[in-house]
Structure 1
Amino acid sequence: MPASPSTARAINDRLALRLLQREGPLTAGQLKQLTGLSRPTVADLVERLAVAGLIEVAGESGEQRRGPNAKLYGIVADRAQLAALDVRTEGVSVVVSDLLGRVLAESSAPIAGDVGTGPAVEQAVALVERVAKEAGADRLHTVGIGAPGLIDPATGELRSSTGLPEWHRRLVAALQERLPEARVHVENETNLAALAEQRDGVAQDRDTFVLLWLGHGTGAAVVLDGSLRRGASGGTGEIGFLPVPGTAGLPSATGCEGGFHSLAGSAAIAELAGEYGVVAEAGEHAPAAAGLVAAGTAAFLDALADRLAVGVSSVVAVLDPGCVVLGGEVGQAGGADLARRVEERVRRMSPLPTEVRSSALGGAAVLRGALLTARDRAQDDLFSPPER
């Protein structure tokens, strides 16, 4: 059944806008060539998008020819301002960008563990408002949030999780209340890191892969055939709860101690480093663990690779992803050296060929993924211009 005229217009408009976002300003002739649409159809959509305030003349092509040069059309970048948040146990990072993803302002702030829920929420919201003001964003169109924990697939809300601060859940509602015109979306931090690695990092050539998050805690994101898989309850990739050998016990429904987290979380890495005489900045958080890995001896990296291979080989046996990315601050700090060690061990443990790569984005992948998600959602909303 052929598409209706209005549906066809919407499809063509969206295609043209995506091309302008990816390629930058284009002439009507270039849009015709790239879309395969007729000249009258392109002329109509250019007029329609300009009237809707989505594109504008951004210059001239500069081509040498008779008559005036062709006009270049580009997306109106300041049509919408976006915010992205990386919410961690110990603080929040915020970035504000325009519709094309160009960063306008950014900042981070620690939030002490002994701060109450109300004050912690107020600190985080105040940071968002301050960064938005610095960016000159009077009104945020979309806010993307990356946070640890499970996202309810039915409601899209962050579920209550043992061991995570209550202010994480309260923050989403507080932002929606203080920014009533903004569209606020929350996603698991590891899922956002995988999205960023697929779009801008080391997994750009992969439609199927698993990202193993190695930071303060552990987690995994599963991308199969180009789609992120969340599971029936939103818990796909909760690898910290995976029962593994080498721990003192078994994990429980209320805590992952005894699971893979006990082998690969930041506190476990710090303890392992001490056994091998590796000394760096003390602390149980991801940056401290990453410093230990970066300063690690060959013997320490071998021992860490032994641990990581247990989790990776379990994922490989179930999913056969062909590629595993060691993400987070620890994965990036280990670099190709740690990735090679893990790959060698997985090769001995599994008959399924698996490439192990080190993250290109590290801990910054969460914020990048949150920004990409906010931009995609804003464009989905704005790139549907009203019918004429």
Structure 2
Amino acid sequence: MTPARTASPRTARVINDRIALDLLVEHGSLTAAQLKELTGLSRPSVADLLQRLADDGLVRIVGEAGAARRGPNARLYGLVAERAHVAAVDVRHGSVSFALADLAGTAVGDAVLSVPDEGEPGDPVAETVTALETVLRESGVTTLHTVAVGAPGMIDPATGALGGGTALPAWHARVPAALRERLGVPVLLENEVNLAGIAEHRLGAAHGRDAFVLLWLGLGVGAAVVLDGRLRRGASGGTGEIGFLPVPGAGGLPSATDCDGGFHSLAGSAAVCALAREHRLRLPPHGTGNGLRAAEAAVRGAASGETGARGEAFLDALAERIAVGAAAITAVLDPGCVVLGGEVGRAGGRVLAARVAERLSGMSPLATEVLCGTVEGSPVLGGGLVTALDAARRDLFAPR
């Protein structure tokens, strides 16, 4: 029998330091006694740990626990949140959104930049970099550690670059390198639906689940797949490109370069608008986003009951379409849970999710819970901040 290996003192310190820092992130400020209770370490070990973290500039005394108690035992220790900041960037067709957070995950700034259509005057890449620099300056951030960028399309797992996809603006692919060059910090690129899936997994409806699929319903359709607790990207980064999924009722078949004829033709925003018109629902002007805002408004109005019987029939028809795509996903992956996200999915809320669940149960023998996304604000930015914070903490919470 091979004897069991025990951790070296250095390895044990590394593990204990990281546990303590994670507890300070989760709970906020704690006393040494509370850290002792939560970690199971001895009092001297906790004292040594806190001294090491203070020497590294990661922990400091932030107050005392209660007016009746004074002295060392009452000291509250907290994470030095301003030690580093991270940024998330959500790159869309007509806009770029930004969010900033400190090392504790507290939001410290945000902004939205309108981007001109291709062919119009202006350089979207330069404007994006300048806009991020502006929000950093206005938020007082001088210690940027990592930037996470979410963009439509497939991310090549070998190179980390924005690869093949449908007709995406060419400037999208140039954003990460431009940010990296100007800011001099690591820039992580991820598919925007995957970032939304990370947000729902860590912060939202799928928290604590080992398996689920986020079904993104917006301008287009997509999916984020989490199995065995891990986000799955696939051999070419294309896991979740369900706009290309051949499904009945789409009126044709997709091609390698065009998802029209796939699930996109049933559940993308243009298709949702067309379905709303079939049910004689009044739509607001499309404005920007190729009908996305109109589709969102139609679904929200129907889900709230504002459009009466016509809205009910519209939601039934839309749920039938969504269930077709969800049934194909569950037949292959059996995730046990589908979360409806994206602007349209979130607009439908629990009302749409319940309809999809009912229809899905009639199409598939696999028990599948259907939920609506619950992450507040932008789930893409939320997932971007989670991703960037994970990278920053891996670096800074490691021993020096």
User: Shorter chain as normaliser: what TM range?
Assistant: over 0.9
Q: Is the 8 A contact 1:327 1:362 kept in 2?
A: no
Residues 1:135 and 2:136 are matched in the alignment: no
Q: Is the 8 A contact 2:86 2:146 kept in 1?
A: yes
The Cα shift of 1:233 comes to 1.2
Residues 1:216 and 2:230 are matched in the alignment: no
The alignment's TM-score, normalised by the length of structure 2, stands at 0.93
Provide the residue aligned with 1:334 in structure 2.
348
Q: Is the 8 A contact 2:204 2:375 kept in 1?
A: yes
2:383 to 346, 369, 386: 369
Provide the residue aligned with 2:306 in structure 1.
none
The alignment's TM-score, normalised by the length of structure 1, stands at 0.95
| CA distances 1:339-387 after superposition (whole Å, capped 9, x unpaired) | 111111111111111111111137711111101111111111110131x
CA distance in 1, matches of 2:114, 2:136: 18
Provide the residue aligned with 1:319 in structure 2.
333
2:197 to 182, 194, 202: 194
Provide the secondary structure at the position in 1 that maps to 2:37. Answer: helix
Residues 1:101 and 2:105 are matched in the alignment: yes
CA distance in 1, matches of 2:104, 2:255: 44
Q: Is the 8 A contact 2:65 2:74 kept in 1?
A: yes
- Give the partner amino acid of 1:146: G
Listed as ranges, the gaps of 5+ residues in structure 1 are none
Provide the residue aligned with 1:177 in structure 2.
181
CA distance in 2, matches of 1:333, 1:122: 33
Q: Is the 8 A contact 1:192 1:370 kept in 2?
A: yes
Provide the secondary structure at the position in 2 that maps to 1:72. Answer: strand
Q: Is the 8 A contact 1:49 1:385 kept in 2?
A: no
2:298 to 292, 299, 320: 292
Provide the residue aligned with 1:254 in structure 2.
257
Residues 1:81 and 2:95 are matched in the alignment: no
Residues 1:57 and 2:30 are matched in the alignment: no
- The 1:166/1:316 distance shift into structure 2, 3 A limit, reads same
Q: Is the 8 A contact 1:54 1:76 kept in 2?
A: yes
CA distance in 2, matches of 1:242, 1:117: 36
| CA distances 1:203-249 after superposition (whole Å, capped 9, x unpaired) | 12422111000011100111112111111111111111000111222
- The 1:154/1:111 distance shift into structure 2, 3 A limit, reads same
Provide the secondary structure at the position in 2 that maps to 1:44. Answer: helix
RMSD: 1.6
Provide the residue aligned with 2:17 in structure 1.
13
Map residues 256-295 of structure 1 onto 2, 5 A cutoff: 256-283=259-286, 284-295=290-301
- Give the partner amino acid of 1:286: L
Q: Is the 8 A contact 2:265 2:271 kept in 1?
A: yes
- The 1:298/1:362 distance shift into structure 2, 3 A limit, reads farther
Which 4+ stretches in 1 moved above 3 angstroms?
63-69, 115-118
CA distance in 2, matches of 1:172, 1:118: 18
The Cα shift of 1:26 comes to 0.8
1:239 to 230, 239, 242: 242
Provide the residue aligned with 2:34 in structure 1.
30
Provide the secondary structure at the position in 1 that maps to 2:108. Answer: strand
The Cα shift of 1:195 comes to 1.1
CA distance in 2, matches of 1:376, 1:286: 32
Provide the secondary structure at the position in 2 that maps to 1:379. Answer: helix
How many residues align? The count is 385
- The 1:255/1:49 distance shift into structure 2, 3 A limit, reads same
CA distance in 2, matches of 1:233, 1:244: 22
CA distance in 2, matches of 1:115, 1:46: 57
1:147 to 151, 173, 181: 151
Q: Is the 8 A contact 2:273 2:291 kept in 1?
A: no
**Which stretch shifts more, 137-146 or 165-174?**
137-146
Using the aligned pairs only, state the percent identity. 58
Provide the residue aligned with 1:124 in structure 2.
128
CA distance in 2, matches of 1:174, 1:117: 19
Listed as ranges, the gaps of 5+ residues in structure 2 are 303-310
Q: Is the 8 A contact 2:222 2:243 kept in 1?
A: yes
CA distance in 2, matches of 1:93, 1:250: 34
Provide the residue aligned with 2:318 in structure 1.
304
- The 1:150/1:117 distance shift into structure 2, 3 A limit, reads farther
- Give the partner amino acid of 2:230: S
CA distance in 2, matches of 1:162, 1:23: 43
Provide the residue aligned with 1:353 in structure 2.
367
The Cα shift of 1:282 comes to 2.6
The Cα shift of 1:139 comes to 3.9
